[in-house]
Amino acid sequence: MPDPTVPPTPPVSLTALLAREDLALRQIAGPSDPGIVIHWAHTSEMADPYPYLLGGELLLTAGVHVPEAAGSGTYFDDYVSRIVAAGGAALGFGLAPVHDTVPRALVAACDSYGLPLLEVPPRTTFSGVARAVWQLMAQARLAELRRVTEAQQSLASAASRPDPVPSVLRQLARRLGGRAVLYGPDGTQIAGAGREPAEEAREALTGLAEVVRPTGRPAPTSATDTLGDTHLAAYALGAGEGFVLGVATPHREPGDHTIASVASVLLSLLTGEHQSGAGAARSSALVRLLLGSAPEAVAPLLGAGRWVVVHARPEGQLPDAVAASALGAALGSPLVDLARDAVRVLVPAGREPQPQAGWTLGVSSAVEPPEWPAADGQAARALARARATRTPLVRHRARPGLAELVPREEAEAHARALLAPLGAHPPLAETLRTWLSLHGSWDRTAVALQVHRNTVRQRIARCAALLDADLDDPDVRMELWFALRGGK
């Protein structure tokens, strides 16, 4: 029998449907197992309902399709066998207007094939039965949502306690009524809570954990199995740290996977940052910076010599924390800063940033830690240029040129003297720099600076007046560009 196609709602217990006094349904044949469930109700008067069933239905019929001589042949055996083959959960036979009683041959066939048979009294309509099924489904869904919500709250509360990992495992085991285990990167059990399953189930759970543990090969993030009456599940934690959550329960409810997934996210945070060497090193680097250490002194803790700075902005909206974290993961770095209108990511130079769907990126050149501030400016300008030119990614290109022929001190002194009239007006200097970098385009400069094009025109006119220069002269533009770059 094929597995039923289950909708995203909890099934209805056949026992609960029979308990509805307003329906007055009566089971007259087939098993009375309390575990029998119904996923929906369907009415059909076809002699062969198989092509129209998905599985899990309570099939309702008034017997219109039954021929007069059906009781003396194999009609009902054939009919019931096709319902069972299609995965039907139960059959409801309506009394009146066609039949006054349920045919005895149908009762015998349902007993023979193990299909529950319900007698539907004349006063109960099929639409009333279907409505009752959906009402019970809605009640079950509400109860399941309440259960999942309460579990999420209790797990979050457990994660904030002084012993967060054992607390989360205890709460998870309690909510699922089974066993919750945390396996370390080497496969050993670090912590566990709840009732121990049989030894065979424990060994099977350990094996299932190995299926999802990352070992350099593609591996699923979760896996499930069943051993006898015990349901097993394993969830990989974090981004390749090797921790695995294992769960063994004597039964499986629709919301169990959601609850276990919430616990796996919390445990990923708890194990990823505080127990992995990389997380500890990042925490140490942050503390040293806050206590006054220079960037070049703490950079070795981060595991790379040269770095690039990435400035990014999502299309059509301001960035949020979730999107920023996802971008950092895509670029291969956890060093993410969410600013007001952009995301900054510090990426090891060996991981060349690539265009990301839905984002506009500006990438600095690869630098040593002492040059991080300069690279931050490069990335900001690259992002502005990328947005102005509607390019997914723009990289800062530091190439040797004429600036290399002039000593740095002299170049900086010349720049200070030439740009002195703009010294009290930083927005003017930045506008002039952007305008020159975009070949004098008013529209692109307005986009890059997020101002109106008329504002750009006014600022450039003000720059020309303060500098007493003809900005249409290419020689003047070249000299100003050299000065604005500061010899860099």
74-96 tens-digit pLDDT: 999 999 999 999 999 999 999 98
Q: 69-72: long-range contacts (C-beta < 8 A, 24 or more apart)?
A: 70/103, 70/105, 71/103, 71/104, 71/105
Helices (H), 299-371: 321-331
- Cα dist from 361 to 272, 329, 343, 385, whole Å: 27, 15, 9, 10
All CATH 3.30.450.30 domain ranges of the chain, comma separated, are: 162-275
- Candidates 3.40.960.10, 3.30.465.10, 2.40.50.100, 3.40.1390.20; CATH matching 12-137: 3.40.1390.20
CATH number of 402-484: 1.10.10.2840
Average pLDDT by consecutive 10-residue portion of the chain (488 residues)? 47 93 95 91 94 94 90 91 96 92 95 97 95 91 86 87 84 92 84 89 88 70 86 80 86 83 84 56 75 79 82 81 74 81 86 85 89 88 87 78 60 82 86 88 88 90 89 86 68
β partners of residue 332: none
- Supply the DSSP symbol for 349: T
Look at domain 306-395 and name its CATH class.
alpha beta
**What pLDDT does 406 receive?**
59
Beta strands in 415-458 (DSSP E): none
Quote the pTM value: 0.47
**CA-based radius of gyration for the chain:** 35
Is residue 393 helix, strand or coil? strand
**What pLDDT does 20 receive?**
94
- Cα dist from 324 to 318, 337, 344, 351, whole Å: 10, 8, 9, 18
* Beta-strand relationship, 230-236 and 222-227: antiparallel
Distance, in Å, from the CA atom of 68 to the CA atom of 441, rounded to the nearest integer, reads 88
Is residue 95 helix, strand or coil? coil
The CATH homologous superfamily to which domain 162-275 belongs is: Dynein light chain 2a, cytoplasmic (3.30.450.30)
**What pLDDT does 272 receive?**
60
All CATH 3.40.1390.20 domain ranges of the chain, comma separated, are: 12-137
All CATH 1.10.10.2840 domain ranges of the chain, comma separated, are: 402-484
**What pLDDT does 422 receive?**
86
All CATH 3.30.70 domain ranges of the chain, comma separated, are: 306-395
